[in-house]
Structure 1
Amino acid sequence: MNPALLQEAIDSILTHAPLSNQSQETARGAIEVAQAVLAGRAKAGAGWHHRTNRAFALPAQTACLAQAVVPFEIPGSAIGQGGEHVAKYDPAAGIVYKTNLPEARKYGYVVDQAGEADDLRLCLREALPSEYLLRLGLQNVVFGDAISLQAIASNPCIEDYPLIVTAQPYAGGEMPTLEEIAMLMMDAGFKELPMAMLRPAAFRSPVWYHAENEIAATDATPGNFTKLSNDVIVPIDLIIHPLPLAILQETARRTKIDLAV
């Protein structure tokens, strides 16, 4: 993987940039525990064979986040809920605030291998907090977003699963077509992976891969992008995360696919 790009992504999401009128100490505490969570991610990486490490990492990382939990009133009005986030829009600031879903024990998803029974095909699995934070940082550096960490908030539904509160500049506009999204991804250096490498019905959109940086991306649907102009398309909520090329090669061997990325 590209160490410089990953470090840039980490630095991006650890930037101290509180946007609300709530305490700067809140944002500073969130940054400190996020830094600790990201520092401990090495052994819990992608791949079917690392699943045991991830099982141990999840409670350790959520316990780390809990050290910075504070009451935090998320500004704005609700603008909907998807499969990963609750979002509120503050029109005065032009900011969308997001948290992981309070009623679900998860921090979004990442692309990874399914099990041996599925020939290690790719699927979506629930992300660790460290993977979720890195995903946000990668969206910043790869696509020029400005997502910032605001707080670690108490969860009203599940006490031991803190909420990660982020702020993102509001991007209003029309939804692009799938063809326009595909062109954007290819222009950014991504190639679409063969469908035969994916677990059936695991994805609602293609999985894209950037071989030089060893990054996978998916959920590239029109609802997760917006057109700022006829020439400028930006992602709002892309699932993007490091995925070692060796994992793809292993899946390709098991599924007898000629991988060309």
Structure 2
Amino acid sequence: MEQPKGWRLEVEKQQRKAVADSGILPAVGYFDRVDARGTEHRVRFRGRTVEKHQHSSGWIATITDTGKIGLAYALPTEYLRRLDLQNKLFGDDLHVIGKTSGSRFATSQPTLKGGEPTSAEIRDVLTAAGWERVAMDQQELPPPLMGSAWWHRGEDVVLLDARKPNFKKTDFGVLPIDLILTDLTPEMRKILC
């Protein structure tokens, strides 16, 4: 069933208000120094941990109007699921540590020391773990993300943004630090199979 226009924005507002009103998460202050900034997060390196504050809505994989794998703003619950998937599938240790002034999430994760892997090394790690690349003609992503989509049949997950800046080459191998992970929907499975 198709949702009415604007429903996601309304649901996002309701979910962000629920986060703000819950009192479960402490408020975190704005960084006085930002070490890195991406499209979703302001980042500060804190020794053994990296602290990330959302400054915009997160992202999830979706089906576009043309029936391809695309990108959409994540609802707060979808963003939290994405963090859970990163922990579960890649052994990360992401934690929500608070809420920002915009009732978005502040997270921490262990600092990974290492260099940037090659695209071939990322491909090899994902392929060895059972991920399959999404065909280019099945992707409708912004130009920097084209070619970065993968999916996993056994885990029922779509992965976007599998690019060099989102992985570290460590003493323990090539590890992801910030992927866009989304549960596979029946519509996505139909496209990908």
Which TM class, normalised by the smaller chain length?
0.7 to 0.9
- C-alpha RMSD of the superposition: 2.2
2:13 to 59, 64, 67: 59
User: 1:158 corresponds to which residue?
Assistant: none
User: 1:208 corresponds to which residue?
Assistant: 150
Shift in Å, 1:49: 3.3
- Equivalent position amino acid for 2:54 in 1: N
- In the alignment of these two chains, the number of paired residues is 189
* TM-score normalized with structure 2 length: 0.88
2:51 to 89, 92, 97: 97
- Tell me, yes or no, if the aligned pair for 2:136 and 2:146 is still in contact at 8 Å: no
2:34 to 51, 56, 78: 78
In the alignment, structure 1 segments of 5+ residues that lack a partner are 1-47, 156-161, 253-258
Aligned with 2:175: secondary structure?
strand
- Tell me, yes or no, if the aligned pair for 1:74 and 1:97 is still in contact at 8 Å: no
Shift in Å, 1:56: 3.7
* TM-score normalized with structure 1 length: 0.66
Change (3 A) 1:127 1:87: same
Q: For each residue in 1:91-144, what CA deviation from the matched residue of structure 2 results, as whole angstroms up to 9, or x when unmatched?
A: 2xx11100111xx4x2x11110111xx2x2121111111111111111011001
Structure 1 segment 190-229 matched on structure 2, within 5 A: 190-199=131-140, 201=142, 203-229=145-171
Aligned with 1:135: secondary structure?
helix
User: 1:130 corresponds to which residue?
Assistant: 77
Change (3 A) 1:59 1:201: closer
Shift in Å, 1:72: 2.1
Q: Residue 49 in 1 paired to residue 5 in 2?
A: no
User: 2:187 corresponds to which residue?
Assistant: 247
User: 2:86 corresponds to which residue?
Assistant: 139
C-alpha separation in 1, matches of 2:15 and 2:163:
30
- Equivalent position amino acid for 1:179 in 2: A
Shift in Å, 1:195: 1.1
1:110 to 46, 60, 72: 60
Shift in Å, 1:77: 4.4
C-alpha separation in 2, matches of 1:51 and 1:210:
30
Same amino acid, percent of matched pairs: 26
Q: For each residue in 1:6-55, what CA deviation from the matched residue of structure 2 results, as whole angstroms up to 9, or x when unmatched?
A: xxxxxxxxxxxxxxxxxxxxxxxxxxxxxxxxxxxxxxxxxx93575534
C-alpha separation in 2, matches of 1:166 and 1:183:
28
- Tell me, yes or no, if the aligned pair for 1:150 and 1:167 is still in contact at 8 Å: yes
Q: Which has the higher helix share?
A: 1
C-alpha separation in 1, matches of 2:111 and 2:141:
34
Structure number with greater Rg is 1
User: 1:35 corresponds to which residue?
Assistant: none
Change (3 A) 1:78 1:122: same
Q: Which has the higher strand share?
A: 2
- Equivalent position amino acid for 1:221 in 2: R
User: 1:153 corresponds to which residue?
Assistant: 100
- Tell me, yes or no, if the aligned pair for 1:77 and 1:90 is still in contact at 8 Å: no
- Tell me, yes or no, if the aligned pair for 2:76 and 2:104 is still in contact at 8 Å: no
C-alpha separation in 2, matches of 1:171 and 1:51:
43
User: 1:22 corresponds to which residue?
Assistant: none
- Tell me, yes or no, if the aligned pair for 1:113 and 1:123 is still in contact at 8 Å: yes
